[in-house]
Amino acid sequence: MAKTKPVDDLIYPQNTGILRVLFGIGALGIFASFIGFFVDTKQFHFSYLTSFSYLASFSLASLFFVMLHHITRSSWGVTLRRIPETFSYQLFILAIMFIPILFGMEYLYKWTSPEILATDHLAQHKQPYLNQPFFIIRQIIYFSVWSFLGYRLYKNSVKMDENADWGLETLQRKISAPGILLFSLTVAFASFDWLMSLDFHWFSTMFGVYYFSMSFQAFFAMIILLGLFLRSRGLLLNTITRVHIGDAGKLMFGFTVFYAYIAFSQFFLIYYANIPEETLWYYHRLEGNWSVISYSLIIVRFAAPFLLLLSKAAKSNFTLLGISSVIIVVIHFLEMHWIVMPTLHYHGFSMHWLDISTLVGLGGLLLGFFFYQFQKHSMVPKNDPKFLESLNKH
């Protein structure tokens, strides 16, 4: 007779303690950042943009993963899917968190300056796209698309938990197919708007894919860490197994290589073309001790996780997966800092306390909301038609 796996409790135990801690930490970070706004307004806005772009990347990559999962009818990650569903659901909160960036555009984006518009021909040439009203309209479009997709896919998923209406799975695919196309366009242009336009002289048609590749690599690191966290609490031990975590590890390894390919390709094409408007962006990031960060990205973001996870056994080793994931999540923030801050600090890397307070503030609130929402429903899509197939994967 075939053995039956023990059934896990699929509901996260109600734990107000973790919510109080996360929301408390978030509130302290927001309060410190509020004070920092008056101490150094320009630094505040750059730090806020860095933290926002970093945290938004996890929710955006989560949304892509969920839609891709539905389109491909994938079964391997069904037991993990409620985690990215919950992260993508909170995209409407990120829309609210984006508002301070709109109020700080004059500090962040030089193309908003009337003086620069009057004297810089490139700013004048790009003004039909880079102007404040159109910028705001684009953000409304981006966040409307993302919030609708995240909300609808999450709600349909938890609704399936309640009534096992498998017709909802078909609806999920119908939403995801056009949704993933809209996602690809909006994320690419959002990365142009938020990050690339910080230096409006510079441009790279690969930048959207670059932002996506680094985000998706970090997303799998986040999934692994949360999966290991749940297992460490004695939750879903028979549902999120070594096989599921290992599959996420394989994808993290794959996207480590993909990220390196995209990052190198962008650099190599700009280096080879040697056009001043393009090379200046990298020049600033090789100036002073920024060069240390630049070379560290090669070693820490690519070489370290690549070598740690190169063997088949390593991709199923929780210790190595955990170490690699922590490395990637940390270096992901450092790379976002490396993208944003040379616009403000040309001649060298420096970590301001506002960089930490904005990250802690926004991150604490988002994680608090994640666990608040995660406790309300089953931790896995238990009535998904592919759930048993995923559960018995080996």
Q: 282 with 172, same domain?
A: no
For residue 394, the model assigns a pLDDT of: 66
Task: Spell out the residues 6+ positions from residue 174 whose beta carbon is closer than 8 angstroms to its own.
Answer: none
Domain-embedded: residue 383 = no
Q: 194 with 211, same domain?
A: no
pTM of the model: 0.94
What distance in Å separates the CA atoms of residue 221 and residue 111, rounded to the nearest whole number? 36
Of residues 196 and 162, more confidence is placed in 196
Average pLDDT, the chain: 93
What distance in Å separates the CA atoms of residue 49 and residue 337, rounded to the nearest whole number? 9
Q: 182 with 217, same domain?
A: no
Q: 369 with 345, same domain?
A: no
Task: Spell out the residues 6+ positions from residue 362 whose beta carbon is closer than 8 angstroms to its own.
Answer: 26, 29, 30, 48, 51, 52, 55, 97
Instruction: Categorize the per-residue pLDDT at 161 as very low, low, confident or very high, splitting at 50, 70 and 90.
Output: confident
362, 52 in Cβ contact below 8 A? Answer: yes
**Domain carrying residue 265:** 202-351
Classify burial at 347, counting beta carbons within 10 Å of its beta carbon; exposed 0-12, middle 13-18, buried 19 or more.
Answer: exposed
Q: 325 with 217, same domain?
A: yes
What distance in Å separates the CA atoms of residue 33 and residue 209, rounded to the nearest whole number? 31
Q: 228 with 151, same domain?
A: no
Q: Assign residue 164 a region: left if phi > 0, alpha if psi is -120 to 50, beta otherwise?
A: left
pLDDT tens digit string along 328-377? 999 999 999 999 999 998 888 989 999 999 999 999 999 999 999 999 98
Average pLDDT over residues 268-292: 90
Domain-embedded: residue 393 = no
Cα atoms in the 13 Å half-sphere on the side-chain side of 9? 10
Q: 45 with 148, same domain?
A: yes
Domain-embedded: residue 385 = no
What distance in Å separates the CA atoms of residue 47 and residue 100, rounded to the nearest whole number? 12
Q: 207 with 292, same domain?
A: yes
Residue 176 has pLDDT above 90, yes or no: yes
Q: 250 with 162, same domain?
A: no
Q: 182 with 225, same domain?
A: no
Q: 188 with 262, same domain?
A: no
DSSP symbol at 378: B
Domain-embedded: residue 394 = no
Task: Spell out the residues 6+ positions from residue 257 whose beta carbon is closer than 8 angstroms to its own.
Answer: 306
Domain-embedded: residue 390 = no
Domain-embedded: residue 3 = no
Domain-embedded: residue 256 = yes
Q: 131 with 226, same domain?
A: no
359, 258 in Cβ contact below 8 A? Answer: no
Domain-embedded: residue 221 = yes
pLDDT tens digit string along 289-327? 999 999 999 999 999 999 999 998 999 899 999 999 999
The total domain count for the chain is 2
